[in-house]
Amino acid sequence: MRLAKYLAITGCCSRRAATRLIRDGQVIFNDRLANHVDSVTLIDTPEGQRCQEHVIVNGELIQAVEAKAYWLFNKAVGTDSRLLAELPNSLIHLLPVSPRLYPVGRLDKDSHGLLLLTNDGELTHQLMHPDFGHSKTYHVQVDRPFDEVFLANMAAGVSYKGVTTLPCTITRLDVDRYEIILTQGLNRQIRRMSHALGFKVIDLKRISIQSLQLGNLLEGSMRPLSSTELADLLASVAAN
């Protein structure tokens, strides 16, 4: 198994993050700097699967593959999704010590709603990689009423900063509120799309990722996914 994939299944990080760590020289493989073609050999131990090779990431020895965990979190405005211990408002201060959980993607500090927390690096890779086109649904309020032209332009794709967004599904909720379903994950995409058309986003809430729904989970709270939620999520990912 390639080293980046192994790091992902241990729960250390996503596969994409593992690739970056290897590139940046932060992974030691058998007492040397790792490279992208390194592979590991998995063995079964009483603690779970682990590799025969000696792998260290950022000074930490990677132990056996951790049991997979999947949690739902309702992020509040002001919580920073980056796991940086030096930030007092970082999500890292809200996470349990065990299991080790990481957010699948980010919600910017000014946004709120659903975050999926997991140590399943393969699922994270599938949900985050743009080639898979998985859907995420948001409820958005802008600073003034909009017309049908705005909705049509948003749905068709908006150009800003040298990119044009993919077509998306958008539905009016109120005179100044809309629901938007994206299969693309550009940085601050909804805010920049709206701004390019002359509107400022004043509230942005993510309510679903694929089949996973935020529901009535209280803001700032988290819980494990039910077996049904997990099965539905995995099935929806596999279907794409």
Q: Are 50 and 65 in contact (CB under 8 A)?
A: yes
Is the N-terminal amide bond of 99 cis, ω within 30° of 0? yes
What is d(CA 89, CA 51) in angstroms, rounded to the nearest whole number?
A: 36
SS (H, E, C) 1-57: CEHHHHHHHCCCCCHHHHHHHHHCCCEEECCEECCCCCECCEEEECCEEEECCCEEE
CA 91 remoteness from chain centre:
13
Q: Of 24, 80, 108, 143, which one is the catalytic site residue?
A: 108
Length of the chain: 240
Q: Could you confirm whether 38 is annotated as catalytic?
A: no
Report the catalytic residues.
Answer: 108
